Chain A
Amino acid sequence: QQQVKQSPQSLIVQKGGISIINCAYENTAFDYFPWYQQFPGKGPALLIAIRPDVSEKKEGRFTISFNKSAKQFSLHIMDSQPGDSATYFCAVRISGSARQLTFGSGTQLTVLP
């Protein structure tokens, strides 16, 4: 049973364009929504995270948009760069779950120069 559904599986964007990756969930008990970035041969690294009490969080070119009623959250990468080419994972955590994160299936982003 997939607790978080991530789309698209792969994404190709031109340099300078906007990359958008979406995640949807069902369980309203989730209370933390991070995004992780993974480069080939490396472990994932935290990129940005949001809690359900806010609808948007921005850090540089990266923005999380959170729609609590639709149970969806998305990552927007503005002015995408070739160095952003990586695999991106959304994740969710159940409130009080002793820090257990459930990850989405991942999106492989390629930014063309």
Chain B
Amino acid sequence: NAGVTQTPKFQVLKTGQSMTLQCAQDMNHEYMSWYRQDPGMGLRLIHYSVGAGITDQGEVPNGYNVSRSTTEDFPLRLLSAAPSQTSVYFCASTYLGGGYEKLFFGSGTQLSVL
């Protein structure tokens, strides 16, 4: 069982370039989300989706787009990379059951924007 798979693990971009971070889950979870992790700031929610075809903004959505065409995939697009987007990005899918919820995180993408 793969869980949540993120690619790539590392990426270096130049300012102004665009790219897509891929995220796939095989647990049939409806809810998926993208977070960025910066030192001293914890994890901040970028975008989330409550099911195929439904997405919404989180705390820090500017400069990012998402789409959810299938339950499995939730890619994150950087439209025009900026140095402020240098961060570690985590995709997560959420299990709901037993009166609690559990986020399953991918292993992250370390992005540097020069």
Contact = CB atoms under 8 A, between A and B. Distances in A.
Interface of A: 6, 9, 32, 34, 36, 41-46, 49, 51, 89, 93, 98-106
Nearest to B59: A102
Give the interface centre of B50, B96, B105, B107 by most chain A CB atoms within 10 Å. Answer: B105
Nearest to B30: A99
Interface of B: 4, 31, 33, 35, 40-45, 48, 50, 56, 58-59, 90, 92, 94, 96, 99-103, 105-108
A104 B48 contact: no
Contacts of A42: 107-108
14 contacts: A6-B42, A32-B100, A42-B107, A44-B90, A44-B103, A49-B100, A89-B43, A98-B50, A99-B31, A99-B33, A99-B101, A100-B58, A101-B45, A102-B59
Given A32-B101, A43-B90, A44-B90, A102 B45 contact: yes
Nearest to A49: B100
Given A32-B101, A99-B48, A41 B107 contact: yes
A37 to B, nearest CB: 11
Given A42-B107, A44-B103, A98-B56, A105 B48 contact: no
Contacts of B105: 43-45
A106 B43 CA distance: 9
A44 B35 CA distance: 11
Pick the 7 closest A-B CB pairs, nearest first: A43-B105, A103-B42, A103-B43, A105-B42, A46-B102, A99-B31, A43-B90
